[in-house]
Structures are given as C-alpha cells and as structure tokens.
Amino acid sequence: MALSKLDNLYRQVILDHSSHPHHHGVLEGTTPIELNNPTCGDVISLTLELEDGKIQAIAFDGSGCSISTASASMMTDVVLGKTVDEAIELSGIFSELVQGNEPTKAEKLGEASILSGVAKFPARIKCATLSWNALKKALSTTENTATLGQVVNHEED
C-alpha cells in the first residue's frame, strides 16, 4: 500500500530534521542536562540560555534515532523565544499528542505536531519525548542548570 502524499510529506519533514537538525551543538558557558533512553540507547545533551525568563538560546547534542533527533530539532525551533511557563506548557501538549490524546492547543507545536503518528508505535514514544523531558528538567532545576555531566535515565512520566 502506497503512502499518501501527506504521509510522504510528514516522513520527509522528519527525515530532514533528522539529517539536518536545527540548533544542533553545545552552547558555550552552559551546563548541559543529559538524558538517555535505556530502552534504545538514545542520548541527548541539552543546553539553554535564559534571559528575563525567556529561552534566548538552545542547543542539543547527542545520538539517537531519526525520531529522537527530529523531535529535538523541532522542539528547539518551537521553544526558542518562549517563556519558561510557555515552554513547559508546550512540553505537556507534546506529551499528550504523542500518547494519542488530542490536546486542544496542538497547533502551538508547529511542525512538531506531525509527530502525532508516533502514538501508533508505543516503543517510539520515549524516543520522541526524550528532548522534551530534558527541556522540562532543565527548566525545573535550580538556576536552570544541572550538575556537569549529569545523566538521567529517561522514564515516561
């Protein structure tokens, strides 16, 4: 059965973000939050800079599958310039979306909303949410930093 044109477009967007991720790298002078998915081996290191309660810069590094990398790339796009509260809200909306729920504000996720199809593959939900959970952890830690080299096993909330 051939994929519909829309499915092909979604697949292409995911592959593009995975092959050419946005905001990939490390922000100098920041302390990373590192999470890993012990189920599949995905690892993310997230750095961000806050100014006046807004995310002024964000970057991620690590290794992971195409879903994990694409999700991290899309996440950095959507939260850049957002307040801490807005970013945490977006993280919750994304989590609901990939678990198969239909959040009322999914349009706020922009391109990241195309990852709703992950709900059909429960084993991939952790891949998609890894970067979003790293973001929540980064925004909820004291002074928005973690201990250098901190690695936390990612478990679904």
Return the CATH number at 46: 3.90.1010.10
Is residue 71 assigned to a domain?
Answer: yes
The total of other beta-carbon atoms located within 10 Å of residue 96's CB is: 17
Is residue 12 assigned to a domain?
Answer: no
Is residue 82 assigned to a domain?
Answer: yes
Domain that holds residue 97: 24-152
Q: What percent of the chain has pLDDT over 90?
A: 57
At 43, which helix (H) or strand (E)? strand 43-51
Which tokens in the block code for residue 83? 């307040």
Residue type, 156: E
- What is residue 22's predicted lDDT score, i.e. its pLDDT? 95
Is residue 4 assigned to a domain?
Answer: no
Is residue 14 assigned to a domain?
Answer: no
Predicted TM-score (pTM) of this structure: 0.84
Would you call 55 helix, strand, or coil by DSSP?
Answer: strand
Number of folded domains that form the chain: 1
What confidence tens digit (pLDDT) does each residue in 72-127 have? 999 999 999 999 999 999 999 999 999 998 878 889 999 999 899 889 889 899 99
**Band of the pLDDT at 3, cuts 50, 70, 90?**
low
Is residue 157 assigned to a domain?
Answer: no
Is residue 13 assigned to a domain?
Answer: no
